[in-house]
Every structure is written in structure tokens, then in C-alpha cells.
Amino acid sequence: MDERILKWLYDIHNAIIEIERFFVDIPRDFKYYQSNIILKRAVERDLEIIGEAVNRILKKDPEFPIEYAKRIVGLRNQIIHAYDNISDEIVWAIISKHIPNLKKEVSSFIKNTE
């Protein structure tokens, strides 16, 4: 695997770990998330990093098999360019349902390089 792609996979993995760590000492609760502006901005920043890393991977290898890659990049673009249209409900659904799957996928890619 290309070293840059591997680096970006680690960036994705690390951003996901960071999101998970945000909820170690605080409730994993939508209402709490929605009311905590610092937490929301931190999660959104990590989602930006994930989206940018996926975007770079796709530029290097357009056929790289990350599921929902274009949607991940689209979310990054929405957070950055259409920040006023970001829905807390959508972000919560992403971190609750999709981030765990992405973590498994990225971990598998990384493990296969060892």
C-alpha cells in the first residue's frame, strides 16, 4: 500500500478514536451532545479530518474501497462550506451508526499492511 494512503488511514483511525474518547467521561446522549457547543465543534472537526483524509485517498487511488467514500467527502464539504446547514441529528446519526463501521473498515486496511 502507498505510504501516503496508509498515513491517511491512520489519520482517519485517530480521528475516530478521538471522537470515541469524547464520550468516555460524558454521557453518550443526543440531548447532551446537542447542548454542548464545544463537543459539537470538536466532533465536527474530526469529521472534517476524516473527510479530508478520504478525499486525499481517493485523489491518489480513485478505486480505493472505502464504503461511502463520496458521502464522507460530501459531509466534509458540507461542514466546511455549508456550516449553517449542518443538522445535529445527522451528525449524531453518523457518529452513532456509521463511524463504528468506518473504524472497522479502516482498521482492517491498516491490519492488512502489517
Q: How far apart, in whole angstroms, are the C-alpha atoms of residue 48 and residue 75?
A: 8
Residue type, 114: E
User: What pLDDT is recorded for position 11?
Assistant: 98
pLDDT in tens, the chain (114 residues): 899 999 999 999 999 999 999 999 988 999 999 999 999 999 999 999 999 999 999 999 999 999 999 999 999 999 999 888 889 999 999 999 999 999 999 999 999 987
Q: Would you give the distance in Å from CA 7 to the centre of its chain?
A: 15
DSSP states of 13-46 as a string? HHHHHHHHHHTSSS---HHHHHH-HHHHHHHHHH
Of these residues, 4, 28, 41, 81, which one is catalytic? Answer: 81
Of these residues, 13, 41, 76, 98, which one is catalytic? Answer: 76
User: What pLDDT is recorded for position 1?
Assistant: 82
Please tell me whether residue 73 adopts helix, strand or coil conformation: helix
Q: Catalytic: 81? A: yes
Domain edges within the chain: 3-111
Question: Global pTM?
Answer: 0.94
- What cell numbers appear for 64 in the block? 480505493
